C-alpha cells in the first residue's frame, strides 16, 4: 500500500531504494580539496581493479526491484515459478513441497511502491523491501508467495497499467486473476486446505481471495488495511475507485477462521482501521499487539503468531 512519498532523487541514483548512490554528500570531500602531499598513488592495475569493483557495485545497485526481490527469494531457498492467472501472468515463489502435507500456506506481499510522490506514479510497484517473503522464510511446511498482476517483472505485460497498482490495486479483476493463478498451482500440487496470509495491503488481497477458494480454512493478516475507505480517508488519500473494500462485503463463510493482527504503534495502518473493519465483521478475531508498529516486531514473533491461528 502507499506508505509515504519518496525523497527527491539525484541523477546518480538508479532507484528509489538502491542505497546511497548519490553524488557528493555530507562529510565527503572533493578530490581537489585533498592536500597534495597525501594524495595516494594508485598503480594502473589498481585502477583497473577499483574500476571493476565500482562497476560491479553500481550494476548490483541498479538491478530492478523485481531482480532484487528474486535474488532475495533465491537466497532464502525458494523456487521461482510462473503461473497463469485470468488474463495476467503471475510470478510466484514456492518452498517446502511435501507429499504428506495437505495444507498450503499462501502468502501475499504488501502493495510495494505504487507511488513515488503524491502525484507521480511508480513505473514498477514491486516491493523494494520484501516482508511477506521474510515471514514465509520463518514458516515451515508447504509455502507459496503469490505475486500480483503487473508485479515482479510483469509490469509491461498486456493489460497492465498504473491503475492496477494504484486505485484499482484491490479490483475484482486483480482478485480473480490471483485466484486463477493459485488454481493453476493447485492443479499441479493439490492441497485440501489453504491458509491465506497477507501483510499490509497483501492482507486485503488475501481476505478478498478467501471467499472464492472453497479450500480456504483460515485467513491471517498482519497490519492490513481491511477497511480501505476508512484508511484512505484517515491519510487524506484519494478514494480507491474501482477497488473492493472488505469492510463493505459480505462475511466470509463461518468455516474460515479469521485472525487479524494490528500493531498498537502502527501509524500507517493504525488499529482503528482494523477496528472499523470488525464493526461490520464481528465474526473476525482481531488481536492488537501494543508494542508493534508496521514493521516491528512481526518477523521475530512470526512462528508463534502464525501458530495461534
- Please report the sign of the dihedral spanned by the C-alpha atoms of residue 1, residue 296, residue 275, residue 222: positive
**The pLDDT value given to residue 118:** 80
> In degrees rounded to 5, what are phi and psi of residue 108?
-125, 125
Cα(144)–Cα(98) distance, integer angstroms: 13
Cell of 56: 560491479
Top-confidence residue, 308 or 120: 120
Query: Could you tell me the domains of the chain?
Result: 65-307 (3.40.50.1820)
pLDDT higher for 159 or 23?
159
What is the end-to-end Cα distance of the chain in Å, rounded?
24
Half-sphere exposure of 55 (CA within 13 A, CB side): 6
Q: What is the pLDDT of residue 9?
A: 34
> Which of the four pLDDT bands, split at 50, 70 and 90, describes residue 26?
very low
pTM over 0.85: no
Q: Which residue has the cell 546511497?
A: 20
78-106 pLDDT, tens digit per residue, is 999 999 999 999 999 999 866 668 999 99
Amino acid at each position: 500500500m502507499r506508505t509515504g512519498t519518496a525523497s527527491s532523487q539525484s541523477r546518480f541514483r538508479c532507484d528509489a531504494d538502491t542505497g546511497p548512490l548519490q553524488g557528493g554528500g555530507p562529510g565527503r570531500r572533493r578530490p581537489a580539496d585533498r592536500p597534495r602531499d597525501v594524495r595516494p598513488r594508485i598503480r594502473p592495475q589498481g585502477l583497473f581493479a577499483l574500476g571493476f569493483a565500482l562497476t560491479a557495485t553500481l550494476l548490483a545497485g541498479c538491478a530492478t526491484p523485481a531482480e532484487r526481490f528474486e535474488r532475495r527469494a533465491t537466497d532464502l531457498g525458494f523456487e521461482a515459478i510462473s503461473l497463469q492467472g485470468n488474463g495476467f501472468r503471475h510470478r510466484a515463489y514456492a518452498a517446502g513441497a511435501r507429499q504428506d502435507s495437505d495444507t498450503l500456506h499462501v502468502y501475499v506481499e504488501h502493495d510495494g511502491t505504487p507511488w513515488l510522490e503524491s502525484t507521480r506514479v511508480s513505473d514498477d510497484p514491486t516491493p523494494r523491501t520484501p516482508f511477506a517473503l521474510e515471514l514465509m522464510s520463518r514458516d515451515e511446511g508447504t509455502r507459496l508467495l503469490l505475486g500480483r498482476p503487473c508485479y515482479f517483472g510483469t509490469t509491461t505485460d498486456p493489460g497492465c497499467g498504473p491503475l492496477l497498482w494504484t486505485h484499482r490495486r484491490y479490483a475484482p479483476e486483480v482478485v480473480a486473476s490471483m485466484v486463477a493463478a493459485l488454481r493453476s498451482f493447485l492443479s499441479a500440487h493439490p492441497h485440501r486446505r489453504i491458509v491465506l496470509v497477507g501483510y499490509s495491503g497483501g492482507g486485503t488481497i488475501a481476505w478478498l481471495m478467501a471467499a472464492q477458494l472453497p479450500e480456504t480454512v483460515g485467513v491471517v493478516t498482519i497490519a492490513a488495511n481491511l477497511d480501505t475507505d476508512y484508511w484512505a480517508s484517515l491519510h487524506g488519500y484519494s478514494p480507491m475507485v474501482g477497488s473492493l473494500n472488505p469492510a463493505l462485503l459480505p462475511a466470509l463463510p463461518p468455516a474460515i477462521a479469521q485472525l487479524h493482527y494490528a500493531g498498537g504503534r502502527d501509524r500507517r495502518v493504525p488499529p482503528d482501521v482494523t477496528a472499523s473493519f470488525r464493526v461490520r465483521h464481528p465474526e473476525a478475531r482481531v488481536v492488537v499487539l501494543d508494542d508493534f508498529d508496521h514493521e516491528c516486531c512481526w518477523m521475530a514473533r512470526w512462528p508463534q503468531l502464525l501458530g495461534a491461528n
